[in-house]
Amino acid sequence: MGKKIASTNLNLIDEPISKELGVYITYDDDATPTKNQHFIKNGKLEKFITNNKLAELLKTKSSGNAKGSGTTLINPYIDTGKDKEKDIISSVKKGLLASSFSGMHSGINPISGEFSIEVKGNLIEDGKIKGEIEGAVISGNFFKDVLPNIDMVANTREARKMVRSPMIKLSKKLAISA
């Protein structure tokens, strides 16, 4: 614990009890009380996502994240940063503003971090949104290409389906094919 695993701009929080969203999950599937907690804070690993069985193996307490026979974040979000969305967009010479992803369940290897997923979004050139992109595929390694390369994080956050995240700019380019 306490090891730097990501950019200092990243804060990952699980919020099973949220007045904002009307979510009140007070116990996990092991009947362990849940609580709002950081898993990554300022880029450092705060704790592992555990159930009773995994916590016993790791000689720690359960984080209250049991789901079936495994573990899950119950209501995760990435905390906001200090950057304005318009400043993030204007800082991009050429890039992709991703608005949705497909294949997250099958296109990511959770052990190696390798991913190849379909993305939909907008092309950015010289700091301006130019047009829509559909059917593109981005690939890379989540642990090497994404986590340590979070350069900017917006000061506002949107909720889309089960994900609440601010706009994030990576300093490293990912492979994109269309």
Q: Tell which of 37, 54, 76 closes a domain.
A: 76
Domain residue limits at 160: 85-177
Number of domains in the chain: 2
Where does residue 21 fall: left (phi above 0), alpha (psi -120 to 50 degrees), or beta otherwise? alpha
Residues 19 and 90 in one domain: no
- Answer yes or no: do 93 and 142 share one domain: yes
> Do 111 and 49 fall within a single domain?
no
Q: Are 58 and 49 in contact (CB under 8 A)?
A: no
For 107, the token pair is 């296109």
Q: H helices within the chain, ranges in order?
A: 52-58, 85-90
Q: Which residue has the tokens 């909720």?
A: 159
**What's residue 161's pLDDT?**
61
Identify whether residues 147 and 164 lie together within a single domain. Answer: yes
Give the CA radius of gyration of the chain.
17
User: Do 111 and 89 belong to one domain?
Assistant: yes
Same-domain check for residues 89 and 166: yes
Sign of CA dihedral 113, 118, 120, 122: positive
Is 93 contained in some domain?
Answer: yes
Place of tokens 């506002």: 156
Contact 46, 39 (CB under 8 A): yes
Do 23 and 69 belong together in one domain? yes
Residues 89 and 169 in one domain: yes
DSSP conformation letters of 122-148: EEEETTEEEEEEEEEEEEEEIIIIIGG
Q: Indicate whether 20 belongs to any domain.
A: yes
- Neighbour-count burial of 59, counting CB atoms closer than 10 A to its CB (0-12 exposed, 13-18 middle, 19+ buried): exposed
Assessment of whether the complete model's pTM goes beyond 0.85 = yes
Q: Render pLDDT for 101-145 as a digit per residue (tens, 0 to 9).
A: 888 778 899 899 999 999 999 999 999 999 999 999 999 999 999
Shared domain for 91 and 53, answered yes or no, is no
pLDDT tens digits, residue range 32-85? 999 999 999 999 999 999 999 999 999 999 999 999 999 999 999 999 999 999
Q: 100 and 37, same structural domain?
A: no
**Tokens 């119950």 belong to which residue?**
74
Q: DSSP state, 58?
A: H
Which residue reads 């996502």 in tokens?
49
Per the DSSP assignment, residues forming a β-bridge with 33 are 27
Q: Which tokens is 161 given?
A: 């389906």
